[in-house]
Amino acid sequence: MKLPRSAVIVGGNRTPFVKAGGAYAQASNLDLLTAALDGLAARFGLAGRRLDEVAGGAVLKHSADFNLTREAVLGSALDPTTPAVDLQQACGTGLETVLYVANKIALGQADSGIGAGVDSASDAPITVTDGLRRALLAANRAKTLPQRLQALARIRPHHLLPIAPQVVEPRTGLSMGEHQAATTASWGITRAAQDELALASHQNLAAAWDAGFFDDLVTAYHGVTRDGLLRADTSAEKLAALKPVFGGTEGTMTAGNSTALTDGAAAVLLAEQSWAKANGLPALARIVDAQVAAIDHTSGDDLLLAPAHAVARLLERQGMQLGDFTFYELHEAFASTVLATLAAWESAQFCGDRLGLSKPLGSIERAKLNVHGSSLAAGHPFAATGGRIVASLAKALHTEGSGARGLVSICAAGGQGVVAILEAV
Amino acid sequence: MEVRELATVPAMGPLFAKALLPGFGHGPARIPSHTVRLSQVSQDLERLADYDRVCGFTVRDTVPPTWLHVLTFPLHVLLLSDPESTIRLAGVVHVSNQMQLHRPVRATEVLDISVRVTNLRPHQRGALLDLIGEVRVGDELVWDGVSTYLAPGAKVDGEPVVVERAANQSSTPIAQWRLPADLGRQYRRVSGDPNPIHTHLLAARAFGFARPLIHGMWTHARLLAAIEAKLPDRYRVEVSFTKPILLPAKVGAWWRSTGDHWDAAVTTIDGTKPHLIANIQVG
């Protein structure tokens, strides 16, 4: 399919990512998103300029932040007449904001825009119990004082306890880690393989920092200049010593091969290709195509394997093979998520029964996977991960030279997955 | 057969107190032969929404079939506190239940509800009896249900019927549910069933349970709620209550469909022992 116009990635900017409750404990989603936008504006001379739209989002969001992205724009160096929209698709949010802007550019509805995402697990909204909420809402609706008192009289002491947000699938009651533990076991993903992937993530991210790869992708924030979760000195032995946190005592998933709760924000500048040129902006890579898919974990499907389906549909539409890419960016929600996805693509049974293919999609070269590190080492501020990946991949592809292609794959809560193809300009 | 028309929904509190009194004498067990009926019942939309929330259903224009069972329940209590019944609700055990939804029932539909008690039969531990509920809209039967209770110690002539236990299938739980300690109170609020065994420690202990247990019909409803979007307009569901759930609790659940048939269960958290086994037949 030929798109009417070409949407290119001009560049990106993010804050360093840090562990929740750490250096950004006092920063809100709005603060972090504003910082990411300001850094992007500074990098590309966007101060005082009106862009066609900024799309942003957060997964853990206060109801007071109903217009989070618009408020961030108003607090940023961008022209205040730049419009904004909030999107949300769990961990797919960041990539979806990029696709939203890219699609508008491709269709001629916009020439320039930003796709962004932020999450602060430190600033997560605490909610009140259902009992208190319903009583307060009823009191609010009441027309007379006795009615109001009657409604308030329904409040019980235990209603007053606060409720912190949980990463639990509402329809199964299982946490994401518990879901993934079942997937890990059923695909027979070993502890050693998971730790190996985690180690590679830290080593790759550390090497990229040392090589200055992130110098034009990250802006220091709140005294932090590097990703705080990165353990450049970790080793196979250190990772092997960690106790399992999911899957019981016999489990293979540890704090070392699972992502930690993280704070951070990321933003990606997109533009129509000739508009970028006319405005003296670089063009790193264009968005070729994208696909979203979902599985039914409420019937027992593997919660985080929807990207395996999305990639199959995307390759089919593009007439491409799984091996046709220079780089692969598979979001490391857990090391075993990446490994189970790779195993699924290699499985004749999965590809036949679930994807309807006559032969497996095949293997990928591990040396091309997450070459600048991924979420295990960088951390995973849910909605910011898409922007981190897209900007890093676009830069890496551009360095490879025109025509180099990269595949992005991100799994999300609710049994969803969003994937995209980028191509170096 | 005699039908006694009721003017209003019987108040369950006083009836229940009566139903808690021991049955009469040592003679053979007797059950009432008449049907009780409530006509032109409007559904309480606010209570329905509350019921939906407590059980996990989406609040829709159509009602869950277990809600219709809840509407018949006061008539169960009435029949088992009738002078013609030697069997009292106190101490009877709800062993199994089946219900058939003949078509989607809207929350705004006005219902005729009737219940009769039948099929008193011997059992190794006493007697079994069925409470048959029917819900009509005008002349159209939209729902019917059979609640089978065991009355321990009740005497009925004849050979004890062998009750086939539902096949003991097992499967890894797909879901896990946390049942809070106050769930019994929440379900009492929406079901109207005042049985203190679900809400009070001492009452539970009096019946030999260490803690209050959640109502079996909540567990039934919660399981249907988990697959509500996958169920068709018409189906028949049969459940066996195999092991009570003491509150608070963390339990597992699984479900699986093979064409027109569903197998499902609510189990211990590790999936080894079923609390409730369900079969659903579509169509």
pLDDT tens digit string along A191-222?
A: 999 999 999 999 999 999 999 999 999 999 99
Regarding whether B179 and B151 lie in a shared domain, the answer is: no
H-state helical runs in A75-190: 93-107, 130-141, 145-152, 176-186
| pLDDT given for residue A135 in this prediction | 82
The answer to whether the CB atoms of B230 and A299 lie below 8 A apart is: yes
Contact (Cβ atoms closer than 8 angstroms) between residue B132 and residue B116 = yes
Lowest mean pLDDT among A118-122, A229-233, A412-416: A118-122
What's the average model confidence in pLDDT over A359-375?
A: 98
| CATH assignment of the domain containing B112 | 3.10.129.10
Interface of A with B in 129-188 (CB under 8 A): 130, 158, 171-174, 178, 182
What's chain A's average pLDDT? 94
Weakly modelled stretches of chain B, pLDDT under 70: 19-26, 163-169
| pLDDT given for residue B150 in this prediction | 95
User: Which of B57, B174, B182 is best to mutate for the A interface (most A CBs within 10 A)?
Assistant: B174
A286 SS3 class: strand
ipTM: 0.80
Which of A62, A91, A159, A372 is the catalytic position? Answer: A91
| pLDDT given for residue A165 in this prediction | 63
CA distances to A228, B110, B232 from B62, in Å: 52, 13, 12
The answer to whether the CB atoms of A182 and B172 lie below 8 A apart is: yes
Regarding whether B69 and B170 lie in a shared domain, the answer is: no
* Cβ atoms within 10 Å of A262's Cβ, excluding its own: 26
pLDDT tens digit string along B5-34?
A: 998 888 887 777 776 666 555 678 999 999
Higher pLDDT, A265 or B8: A265
Regarding whether B148 and B219 lie in a shared domain, the answer is: no
Domains annotated on chain A, with CATH: 176-211+288-424 (3.40.47.10)
Which residues of chain B have a CB within 8 Å of the CB of A297?
A: 174
Q: Is-catalytic flag, A411?
A: yes
Regarding whether B91 and B185 lie in a shared domain, the answer is: no
Contact (Cβ atoms closer than 8 angstroms) between residue A198 and residue A231 = no
Which of A309, A331, A380, A398 is the catalytic position? Answer: A380
| pLDDT given for residue A3 in this prediction | 77
Regarding whether B189 and B102 lie in a shared domain, the answer is: no
What's the average model confidence in pLDDT over A298-324?
A: 97
Q: How confident is the model at residue A411 (pLDDT cuts 50, 70, 90)?
A: very high
Residue B120 structural domain? 1-156
Enter the tokens of residue B221.
């409803």
Boundary of a domain, candidates B101, B135, B156: B156
The answer to whether the CB atoms of B175 and A171 lie below 8 A apart is: yes
| pLDDT given for residue B139 in this prediction | 96
The answer to whether the CB atoms of A298 and B254 lie below 8 A apart is: no
Which residues of chain B have a CB within 8 Å of the CB of A130?
A: 53
Regarding whether B219 and B97 lie in a shared domain, the answer is: no
| pLDDT given for residue A105 in this prediction | 98
What's the average model confidence in pLDDT over A364-386?
A: 98
Regarding whether B127 and B43 lie in a shared domain, the answer is: yes
Regarding whether B16 and B136 lie in a shared domain, the answer is: yes
Regarding whether B189 and B97 lie in a shared domain, the answer is: no
| pLDDT given for residue A142 in this prediction | 84
Regarding whether B42 and B6 lie in a shared domain, the answer is: yes
Q: Is-catalytic flag, A351?
A: no
Regarding whether B182 and B267 lie in a shared domain, the answer is: yes
Q: Is-catalytic flag, A91?
A: yes
What's the average model confidence in pLDDT over A129-139?
A: 81
What's the average model confidence in pLDDT over A184-197?
A: 97
Radius of gyration of chain B (CA): 18
Regarding whether B257 and B234 lie in a shared domain, the answer is: yes
Query: How many Cα neighbours within 13 Å face the side chain of B235?
Result: 21
| pLDDT given for residue A125 in this prediction | 74
Boundary of a domain, candidates B156, B187, B206: B156
Question: What predicted TM-score, i.e. pTM, was given to this entire model?
Answer: 0.89
Boundary of a domain, candidates B130, B156, B182: B156
Domain tally, chain B: 2
The answer to whether the CB atoms of B256 and A158 lie below 8 A apart is: no
Share of chain A above pLDDT 90, in %: 85
A145 SS3 class: helix
Which residues of chain B have a CB within 8 Å of the CB of A171?
A: 175, 226
| pLDDT given for residue B16 in this prediction | 74
* Residue contacts between A and B (CB atoms, under 8 Å): 28
What's the average model confidence in pLDDT over A25-43?
A: 96
Q: How far is the C-alpha of A417 from the C-alpha of A119, rounded, in Å?
A: 19
